[in-house]
Homo-oligomer: A and B are copies of this chain.
Amino acid sequence: MRATITILGLLCLPSLVFGQRGPTPYYEDTKNVPVSPEIHPDRTVTFRLFAPKASDVVLMGSPGILEVIKEPKPLRKDDKGVWSLTVGPLPEGFYTYGYAIDGGLRMPDPSNPNPELRRWGNTSLFIVPAAEKAVFEERPVPHGTVHIDTYDSKNLGMSRMFYVYTPPGYETSQQKLPVLYLLHGNGQIESSWTWTGRANVIMDNLLADGKVKPMIVVMPYGHIPREIKPDPAGPADPMAIEKELLTAVKPEVEKKYRVLTDREHRAIGGLSMGAAQSLSIGLHNPDQFAYVAAFSGGGNRAEWEKADPAMLNKKFKVLWIGCGREDPGYKGVKGMADLLTEKKITHIYNESGGGHSWPNWQTYLSKYAPLLFR
């Protein structure tokens, strides 16, 4: 076959063609690119970077792997200019990381084609697989579809996107389905729950195991306006998503998708910044949402102190809060759950190991989703 495609190769492969007129294009020059990360059978992981003239290369997190290695760790250079570091064994799960070079330059791993896509400052992503397939690992089960929807926001005078998961069979069915609005964290984007967090794989697996009702999952973009660089003071107004979600995203979803539109068939949940957004949106709109969840984030304590327990207990079918004991925000989230207990607002509090990272968020989704629409 190689012989018969020579002409084809010459015509269509930049790797061959561009060699004739200058440097190998960026992406085809592999000779200096070591394997990285290499995930060993014992779940240790080796990171490598070719940077012969660098004086200092450090493994960073976003926070991702920082939660396991605790602090940035230096790599060591060999005589060929390849820096390396082995860490772990690591618990199964998703890890994000990047490098800091010479104390200043930060970059994703050029050997790793899987970026963690962020609003700004993309990092790299890898998975330590579980001995038995974890809920975030793809299995040969029926697969749902991820939709990328673009809409023109009248509120904001710009086009924005949201992602939608529909379960297997949605396209050929006439059934109307309930909806979970699933919000991302600070610095993340509308694709984060699927691209990085694999919410679609998780939902496929939960459905295949009969653990969840078929539902549509809508993943809007949580930053308003579309900030490119993070502001050290935090997002301009993280609650601006409330108006956008209710007056722009929700109507668009309900026009375009076959969904149930009563409160009993509408849920909200989010991680980190999205947790705080979900708690506030739920509290402000109990006539719109019967289910509310906060993953690794608390709420606006002042407004919850003024909440009406009797009304909320009547309205909310599930109010779910989860946090890892190693999460830097652990005390705050625990304090929020304690406030709910004090006020006798019925809720589920799920305390786990781990910190402020995807393995927890993926697990929390796999615990919250089965409670919905029962």
Are A276 and B60 in contact, with the CB atoms below 8 A?
Answer: no
- Cβ of A30 within 8 Å of any chain B Cβ, yes or no, is yes
Residues of B within 8 A of A97 (CB): 26
- Known contacts A63-B25, A119-B113, A332-B7; A14 and B53 CB within 8 A of each other: no
- Known contacts A1-B239, A229-B33; A121 and B26 CB within 8 A of each other: yes
Are B28 and A230 in contact, with the CB atoms below 8 A?
Answer: yes
- Cβ of A130 within 8 Å of any chain B Cβ, yes or no, is no
Are B147 and A146 in contact, with the CB atoms below 8 A?
Answer: yes
Interface residues on A, range: 35 or more
Q: Which of B21, B239, B256, B336 contacts A5 (CB 8 A)?
A: B239
Stretch from A86-94, A294-302, A342-350, A361-369 that touches the partner: A294-302
- Cβ of A72 within 8 Å of any chain B Cβ, yes or no, is yes
Q: Which of B33, B60, B104, B333 contacts A32 (CB 8 A)?
A: B104
A119 to chain B: closest residue by CB: B113
Copies of this chain per assembly:
2
Stretch from A148-156, A207-215, A282-290 that touches the partner: A148-156
Q: How far is A232 from B14 in the complex, measured between Cα atoms in Å? A: 10
- Known contacts A121-B113, A257-B171, A302-B4; A275 and B12 CB within 8 A of each other: yes
**Contact residues of A between 88 and 117, Cβ < 8 Å to B:** 97-98, 100-108, 110, 113, 115, 117
Q: How far is A30 from B299 in the complex, measured between Cα atoms in Å? A: 27
- Known contacts A107-B110, A147-B147; A276 and B12 CB within 8 A of each other: yes
- Cβ of A328 within 8 Å of any chain B Cβ, yes or no, is yes
**Contact residues of A between 238 and 260, Cβ < 8 Å to B:** 238-239, 255-257
A: residues with CB less than 8 A from B are 1-2, 4-5, 7-18, 20-23, 25-30, 32-33, 49-56, 60-63, 66, 70-72, 81, 97-98, 100-108, 110, 113, 115, 117-123, 138, 140, 143, 145-152, 159, 171-172, 185-187, 194, 200, 228-230, 232-235, 237-239, 255-257, 272-273, 275-276, 280, 296-302, 328-329, 332-333, 336, 356
The 8 A-B pairs of least Cβ separation, nearest first, read A27-B121, A53-B102, A11-B332, A17-B328, A11-B298, A143-B150, A146-B148, A12-B297
